[in-house]
Amino acid sequence: MASQSKEDYIKVLYKLEQENKVVSTNDIASFLKMKASSVSDMLKKLAMEEYIDYTKYKGAKLTKKGVSKALSIIRKHRLWETFLVNHLKFKWDQVHDIAEQLEHIDSDQLIDKLDHFLNYPKSDPHGDPIPGKNGEIINLGHTPLNELNLMDNGSIAAIKKGTPSFLQYMDKLGIELGTKIKVIDKIEFDKSLEIKIHNKSIHLSQEVAQNILIKI
Amino acid sequence: MASQSKEDYIKVLYKLEQENKVVSTNDIASFLKMKASSVSDMLKKLAMEEYIDYTKYKGAKLTKKGVSKALSIIRKHRLWETFLVNHLKFKWDQVHDIAEQLEHIDSDQLIDKLDHFLNYPKSDPHGDPIPGKNGEIINLGHTPLNELNLMDNGSIAAIKKGTPSFLQYMDKLGIELGTKIKVIDKIEFDKSLEIKIHNKSIHLSQEVAQNILIKI
DNA sequence: TTAAATATTTAGCCGTGTCTAAAAATTTAT
DNA sequence: ATAAATTTTTAGACACGGCTAAATATTTAA
Ligand SMILES: [Mn+2]
Ligand SMILES: [Mn+2]
Ligand SMILES: [Mn+2]
Ligand SMILES: [Mn+2]
Mutate to test the interface with B, among A105, A108, A114, A119 (most CBs of B within 10 A): A105
Task: Determine which helix (DSSP H) or strand (DSSP E) holds A12, and give its type and residue range.
Answer: helix A4-19
The span from the CA of B202 to the CA of B182, in Å, is: 10
Coil vs helix vs strand at A69: helix
Is residue B156 within 8 Å of residue B176, measured between CB atoms? yes
pLDDT at A4: 96
Distance B39 CA to D20 C1' (A): 14
pLDDT beyond 90 at B10: yes
B167 C-alpha to center of ligand 4: Å? Answer: 11
Closest-CA residue in chain B for A118? B88
Taking only residues 42 to 81 of chain B, the set having a beta carbon closer than 8 angstroms to any beta carbon of chain A reads none
Mutate to test the interface with B, among A5, A80, A88 (most CBs of B within 10 A): A88
Domains contained in chain B, CATH given? 4-62 (1.10.10.10), 70-139 (1.10.10.10), 143-215 (2.30.30.90)
pTM of the model: 0.92
Percent over 70 (pLDDT), chain B: 100
Q: Angle between the A25-32 and A36-48 helix axes, to the nearest 10 degrees? A: 110
Distance of CA B120 to the CA centre of its chain: 19
pLDDT at B157: 95
- Kindly report which listed range (A79-83, A166-170, B14-18, B139-143) carries the lowest average pLDDT score: B139-143
pLDDT at A184: 92
Distance A57 CA to C26 C1' (A): 8
Measured in angstroms, the CA of B6 and the nearest CA of chain A are apart by: 17
The span from the CA of B51 to the CA of B74, in Å, is: 16
- The total of other beta-carbon atoms located within 10 Å of residue A28's CB is 23
Res. B188 pLDDT band, cuts 50 70 90: confident
In this complex, the residue of A90, A97, A107 whose CB is nearest that of residue B113 is A90
Rg of chain A over Cα atoms, rounded to whole angstroms, equals 19
The span from the CA of B71 to the CA of B10, in Å, is: 9
Which whole-number Å values give the CA distances from B49 to A143, B2, B3, B6, B63, in the listed order?
A: 52, 9, 12, 10, 10
The span from the CA of B162 to the CA of B168, in Å, is: 10
Res. A19 pLDDT band, cuts 50 70 90: confident
Distance A40 CA to D11 C1' (A): 13
pLDDT beyond 80 at A131: yes
Closest-CA residue in chain A for B105? A101
Q: Which of A40, A35, A38 is nearest to A24 (CA)?
A: A40
Please check whether residue A90 touches B, CB under 8 A: yes
CB pairs under 8 A between A and B: 42
pLDDT at B19: 86
Mutate to test the interface with A, among B79, B82, B105 (most CBs of A within 10 A): B105
Is residue B48 within 8 Å of residue B25, measured between CB atoms? no
The span from the CA of A192 to the CA of A204, in Å, is: 6
Residues with CB under 7 A from strand D: A 24-27, 36-37, 39-41, 43-44, 54, 56-57, 59; B 3, 5-6, 8, 33-35, 37-38, 41-42, 45, 57
Q: Is the dihedral of CA B96, A101, A25, A207 positive or negative?
A: positive
Taking only residues 92 to 111 of chain B, the set having a beta carbon closer than 8 angstroms to any beta carbon of chain A reads 94, 97-98, 101-102, 105-107, 109-110
Measured in angstroms, the CA of B26 and the nearest CA of chain A are apart by: 29
The span from the CA of A111 to the CA of B131, in Å, is: 27
Q: What is the mean pLDDT of residues A152-173?
A: 92
Q: Angle between the B4-19 and B64-86 helix axes, to the nearest 10 degrees? A: 100
Rg of chain B over Cα atoms, rounded to whole angstroms, equals 19
The predicted-structure confidence for B124-142, as pLDDT tens digits, reads as follows: 999 999 999 999 998 888 9
